[in-house]
Structure 1
Amino acid sequence: MPNRPTQSELLQWAVTHTTDESSAIPERPVTREPIDPKWIDVILGKDDAVKMKECVETIRGTEKSLDDKLAAFDELEMLVESLDNANDLRPLSLWTPIIDQLSSQEPKMRMYAAWVLGTAVQNNPRSQTDFLDSGGLGPILRVLASDPDEEVRAKALYCVSGAIRHNRALFDAFVDGNGFRTLASVAGDANPALLKRVVFLWRSLIEQEEPEVASRAVQAAQENGVPAMALDQTAGETEDADLVEKCLELLFTLVTKYRSTLLIDLLVRIRDEIIPIVRERFGPQSHSGMVSLDLIKQLEEALEAI
């Protein structure tokens, strides 16, 4: 009687003689439906250039609601915080439609337009040049000079400040466009928040390393009565310590670097009137806030020789 196969031999026989049915069935070609581009956008996100174009299309859309336009402006402002995106405004032909919104009947639209322009030119020489070449300086100066909405003017000043402080071509165009006269008019009728920004900008221009820029800013300050304005603000009834300190910083810069441009009567007034007022009103015992004691001391020392 033949020997019976072992379980191991039976298993091996079964494996050897088993037909792989799946291999006997011919493979059918796999057909894939094309992916809808909208799902690619959902998964990967739209390119920033596409987003910026869509924002501007919404802003210009005649059938879009004001809320939709403001939301688009808000997104656009965040997008141009990127230097690369700001630099793409020119190849995308978006500078002009944004600048055009400075003439909108809606104050919020004008405010956002100035805000986007200001963000785009911040610390970005290429974008600053594109802004100038696109004719943006004239409209933004007109808004700064005469817009009835203070929030719009504040954003316009933000734009002007970012554009001219480190770009000689823009600074020269600013001077030729009576920019300093515009700043002086803003200082004359602005609220304290806007006035502080004007004083800070003027001082930063006076302190520029480029001599010609600094000298033109000093000359413009004299021609537009800026030192006297700073004195009047400091001697007035304001309780705004920050405003007073910014005015004193401007005066200190003029006294220490450009004393020859100041009248002796003005210097005496700083020493005999302004410093005592500031010490009394904004000293350590003040309830209105303090002005830097070091600044006051340095100003006193600078005036000792009078």
Structure 2
Amino acid sequence: MSQEGPNWEGLLKWSLAHSDGTRSTRNLSEDDRKWFMEAMQSQTVDVVRRMKQITLVMQASEEVLESQGVTPDDIEGLLDELQEHVEAIDMANDLHSIGGLVPLLNYLKNSHANIRAKAADVVSTIVQNNPRSQHLVMESNGLEYLLSNFTSDPDVKARTQALGAISSLIRHNKPGITAFRLANGYAALKDALSSENVRFQRKALNLIQYLLHENNGDCDIVNELGFPRIMMHLADSEDPNIREAALRGLLELARDKADGTRARLIEDNEKLKQLLEERIRNISAMTPDDLGAAKEERQLVDSIWNALYKEPSSLHEKGLLVIPGEDAPPPDVASQHFVPPLRAFSARDASKGSTQQKDDKPPLLLGPGPSSA
């Protein structure tokens, strides 16, 4: 079997033999140049060709794969590799053109929970800050499959990964947000908040905050469904990430809205003031190290207090809002969570397609079937 991965040791020795760092690069001999090019080209992967090979495997039935000795772990490994390839936005968009998107979405209905979870993870990578792939996944009923797993999958990991993929799919995607609402997505998010799985809860809280930030009118829906009381309960969690995520959601509800949402929040939830006072007492009792780690929580508590009562919280008087060595808090704490990742920089080129050369006849990965007795 050939050695996997680049021959780093050989390349390093070659580089050291031809440069001592004190002189300009000399011209290579033809033999040196040929050796180097062969060493590099031998490690070059034709990504599209490899994605076509993976697609052929995804298109095969579970029975065929089993007959060829392909295990669920093998499929997970292929999905891991596919995820690495589609991190490039052009490759993500190419997956549909080579016939790989639909088989990937079908894996969301696979009988193995880990494969369902990993398939959702790959979908999340494909659609993140990628309008073209978001459209293609929506067009292929991907949101419907993900919603089914999010609400009904018996495996919590598969449910969590489906929720993460939904979040990536509908962000900055108005048709996706509309479809999520029409599918009773907020009720499903409410159920997710009752889960005992911290990661599942946190993903649900982050999506709720995003939806409220993007659509002020949705505050009515979450109030009617009883979200404020649930978020207040979670804002008292021992997990700092859950606390912060719940506080971010409450901040969206506490802000002034033209429809009077904030007034109803105060009227129906006097307990919120007690919660904030309790959080301030806990913050006041923190050690310097804990205060540094709780920077965002301090800012969120003060922002909610200011939004509700139009005055700074007592954290100002105590000198705990900004501790020595910290910069002043930003005027809008929540907005920092809506800056798209770096991949958004490439999104403007999403419609141009890939410049990779495509292989029309990918080799089959599957070997011959079992010999007959």
Smaller-chain TM-score range? 0.7 to 0.9
Aligned to 2:235: 234
Equivalent position of 1:202 in the other structure: 208
Larger Rg: 1
Distance (Å, rounded) in 2 between the aligned partners of 1:50 and 1:216: 47
CA apart distance, 1:92? 1.3
Whether 1:256 aligns to 2:255 is yes
2:140 corresponds to 1:139 = no
Could you tell me which residue of structure 2 aligns to residue 119 of structure 1?
Answer: 125
What residue is the counterpart of 1:76 in the other structure? 82
Q: 1:97 aligns with which of 92, 96, 103?
A: 103
1:122-201 equivalences under 5 Å are 122-201=128-207
**Which residue pairs with 1:51 in the alignment?**
50
Q: 1:90 offset after TM fit, Å?
A: 1.8
Structure-1 residue corresponding to 2:277 = 276
Runs of 4+ in 1 over 4 A off after TM superposition: 286-289
User: Structure 1 vs Structure 2: percent identity of aligned residues?
Assistant: 27
Greater displacement, 73-82 / 224-233: 224-233
Contact 2:86–2:125 under 8 Å retained in 1: yes
Partner of 1:3: none
Distance 2:186 2:196 in 1: 15
Q: Give the conservation status (yes or no) of the 8 Å contact 1:255–1:302.
A: yes
Question: Which residues of structure 2 form unaligned runs of 5+?
Answer: 1-37, 312-373
Identify the match of residue 303 of structure 2 among 293, 298, 304. Answer: 298
Equivalent pairs, count:
260
Q: Distance in 2 between matches of 1:162 and 1:217?
A: 19
Contiguous gaps of at least 5 residues in structure 1: 1-38, 209-213
Deviation at 1:267, TM superposition (A): 4.3
Give the CA deviation at 1:44. 6.7
Instruction: Note if contact 1:245-1:292 (Cα within 8 Å) is conserved in structure 2.
Output: yes
Structure-2 separation of matches of 1:164 and 1:257? 25
Contact 1:145 1:182 survives alignment (8 Å): yes
Deviations 1:94-123 (A, max 9, x none): 221111111111111101110111110000
TM-score (norm 2): 0.64
The answer as to whether partners of 2:108 and 2:146 remain within 8 angstroms in 1 is yes
RMSD across aligned positions (CA): 2.6
Measure how far apart 1:57 and its partner are: 2.3
Letter in 1 for 2:205: V
Q: How far has the Cα of 1:230 moved from its partner?
A: 0.4
Closer, same or farther: CA 131–304 of 1 in aligned 2, 3 Å: same
Shift of 1:260: 2.0
> What is the SS of the residue equivalent to 1:118?
helix
Summarize deviations over 1:159-204 as a string: whole Å, max 9, x none.
Answer: 1111112011111111122222222211122422221221111111
For 1:265 and 1:228, locate their aligned partners in 2 and report how far apart those are by CA, in whole Å: 12
Structure 2 letter corresponding to 1:247: A
Deviates more, 1:155-164 or 1:221-230: 221-230
SS where residue 114 of structure 1 aligns? helix
Which amino acid in the other structure matches residue 244 of structure 2? E
Structure 1 pair 49–76 and aligned structure 2 pair: CA distance change class (3 A): same
Q: CA deviation at 1:87?
A: 0.6
Structure 2 counterpart of 1:211: none
Separation in structure 2 between the aligned mates of residue 60 and residue 108 of structure 1, nearest angstrom: 18
Note closer, same or farther for the CA distance 1:105–1:283 as it changes in structure 2 (3 Å cut). farther
Instruction: State the 1:42 CA deviation.
Output: 6.9
How far off its partner does 1:284 sit?
4.4
On the 8 A contact 2:229/2:269 being kept in 1, the answer is no
Deviation at 1:132, TM superposition (A): 0.4
TM-score normalised per structure 1: 0.77
User: Higher relative contact order at CA 8 Å, sep ≥6: structure 1 or structure 2?
Assistant: 2
